[in-house]
Structure 1
Amino acid sequence: MFCSRYSYDFRPSQGPKEIDLLEWTSYAALDIIGLTSFKCQLGALDGGSSEMANVSKLVFTTLSKIPLGPFTILVPALWRFLPERILTVLEKVPNKESELLRKLKSVATATARQTIENVARDHSKDIVTILAGASDENLMDEDEILSQLATFTLGGENTAAAAIAWTLYELGRRPDYQARVREEIRRGPADYDSTPLLNAAINETLRLHPIVYTFLRYAVDNDTIPFSEPVQTRTGETWNEVPVEKGQMVMISPYTYNQLPGIWGDNVDDWVPERFVDLEGKTRISVGLHANLLNFGDGVRGCIG
């Protein structure tokens, strides 16, 4: 939709032109979420006037202007050391960013409630129909369902938008590979199994530009974490595992894992989608939650993407 609407503005005859790609991919992601989660047209790309689209755009423009600095990392890291009563007070301190996020959650929840009430109870496999069926069978209560749909909006829009923007950026830097992807799409139906080159481009972008650089987990019991390779400490000791205590925080870095030469080769700093495709043009067999990447975590807390 974006290409069909704006291709005239970006004709080669007009020369190079700078655009904020992330802004437009954010609108596209919101429209996709509207169709898949709420079965409705939000019209973000078309300049629609739906309340969710308007609030989401306001959140994007506001949060994108927040300057990054040491306190951006330090403050969240210190929160877990504050007493709960102080956190409760801080949560209610008014600020523009928090108010906008609360407003977006409120609008998403209201839209989700209306959707659940009106959705047809059929055998469709979209998200909202499945959740509505869970409600009818008392497998999930209303609050759980509304929270799930709101989470798809709040958690899925910006992450999907950033991943799409980075993929388009890297394809723009590799016109040769871009041409191969275009030809692959033209040859047949653009479904997942028939587009290994496109899938490889997406996976390589996720590897090189993970949207979430780190995430935290807490040990539920005293345990040890084994190393894949021995590690030598500053004192000369060789460790094959590290002990963790119950309640101890463990920081996991998809970015670090995705940059390991032992797994991905010596060219880890380069965008090379071919690493995900074998010589026959088929996707390589991989391990893990998705494509041997750590971006989506693993186990019961793995991200559904």
Structure 2
Amino acid sequence: MRRIGLRLIAEKKAAIVAETAATEKGRGVERKDITERDLLTLLIRANMATDIPESQRLTDDEVLAQVPTFIVAGHETTSTATTWALFALAQRPHVQRKLRAELLGVPTDGPTMDALNALPYLDAVVRETFRHHAPVPMSLREAVQDDVIPVGTPYTDKHGRVRETVEVRRGDLVCLPILALNRRCDIWGDDAHEFRPERWEDVPEAAASVPGVWGNLLTFLGGPRACIGYRFSVVECVPAAVFLSLPRQVCSELLGRTKALLFALVRAFEFELAVPAEDVKKQSRIVTRPVVTGPDGRAKASLPLIIRPYRA
């Protein structure tokens, strides 16, 4: 990946220099010249711009480091979330029918972002997918200094002492149990372990205190190190190459492909599980994928579905 990435960077730089020289001789690259819509071109053009301070430029290694981040985070989480959405819909024909009826009410095959966002049941299905089937079930943070974290409810530690804080030492790893919090009954109600999109019609009051960056959930974490592409992952109807061209502040306006994918798939097809639901297990390796044990006894990442064209 490094070898290919560095070659691509060199090729992009040469193309940008040649393009600029051909259009306006003697003038360097400026930010307004950024017209290409892929990640590498945008980052390289920005780094080559003459009207930004040196302190804001990235090295080639720093540019290269962004590529796998966007590819892995943008592709794996979106494809996994869409897979789990189809898994949930295949088990609940009434939810699938209700969603399809809403989607078929849109008079175009290529809706805009605003049109997708205006579909309440699609929004509820996507939110419930990211709640109930969070693609990344947990995350870790390393403390950079000693700290004391207050807790909302006092707890008893292993020594029998009632505590109102958690003491963290520098270097400690703190686990953020995303999926466990997304399914807490004291936040989401007694049916927190069920997939029910209708819950988003009246979000529980307790969920308002969840400090996530989106949807009363920790699926995309929160704070300054929240998922860089969370909007892209949920709603924006754009090609991957367009998303990969956008800087962080623009990425915050994209909630991505999941809605667009479901819009296209559910309008055109009916989905049914090809194996019993209990045969589909979960396997977490950064992202959580569905796995099915084959005749050879080996578990493989897959979701067997029966897919039929929808006939009105």
The question of a shared fold, defined as TM-score above 0.5 by the shorter chain, is answered with: yes
Aligned to 1:134, the other structure's residue is in SS state: helix
CA distance in 2, matches of 1:286, 1:215: 16
Match of 1:8 in 2: none
With over 3 angstroms needed to count, the CA separation of the structure-2 counterparts of 1:219 and 1:117, relative to structure 1, is same
With over 3 angstroms needed to count, the CA separation of the structure-2 counterparts of 1:220 and 1:287, relative to structure 1, is closer
Instruction: Give the superposition deviation at 1:218.
Output: 1.3
Identical counterparts, % of pairs: 31
Instruction: Give the superposition deviation at 1:251.
Output: 1.4
Q: Which structure has more helix as a fraction of its residues?
A: 1
Q: 92, 100, 115: which one pairs with 1:182?
A: 100
Q: Is the 8 A contact 2:144 2:171 kept in 1?
A: yes
Instruction: Give the superposition deviation at 1:243.
Output: 0.8
Q: 148, 158, 180: which one pairs with 2:66?
A: 148
Which ranges of structure 1 fall in alignment gaps of 5 or more residues? 1-103
Q: Which has the higher contact order (CA 8 A, sep 6+)?
A: 2
Match of 1:210 in 2: 134
Q: 85, 89, 112: which one pairs with 1:171?
A: 89
Aligned to 2:149, the other structure's residue is in SS state: strand
Instruction: Give the superposition deviation at 1:267.
Output: 0.7
Q: 142, 153, 162: which one pairs with 1:229?
A: 153
Instruction: Give the superposition deviation at 1:135.
Output: 2.2
Aligned to 1:256, the other structure's residue is in SS state: helix
Q: Is the 8 A contact 2:211 2:222 kept in 1?
A: no
Deviations 1:263-285 (A, max 9, x none): 11111110011222349xxxx99
TM-score, structure 2 as length reference: 0.54
Q: 134, 139, 143: which one pairs with 2:46?
A: 134
With over 3 angstroms needed to count, the CA separation of the structure-2 counterparts of 1:132 and 1:181, relative to structure 1, is farther
Is 1:294 aligned to residue 218 of structure 2? yes
Q: Which structure has more strand as a fraction of its residues?
A: 2
With over 3 angstroms needed to count, the CA separation of the structure-2 counterparts of 1:273 and 1:126, relative to structure 1, is farther
Q: How many residues of Structure 1 are paired with residues of Structure 2 in the alignment?
A: 198
Q: Is the 8 A contact 1:254 1:295 kept in 2?
A: yes
Q: 175, 186, 192: which one pairs with 1:262?
A: 186
CA distance in 1, matches of 2:3, 2:73: 14
Greater displacement, 179-188 / 105-114: 105-114
With over 3 angstroms needed to count, the CA separation of the structure-2 counterparts of 1:135 and 1:235, relative to structure 1, is closer
Match of 2:125 in 1: 201
TM-score, structure 1 as length reference: 0.56
CA distance in 1, matches of 2:169, 2:189: 34
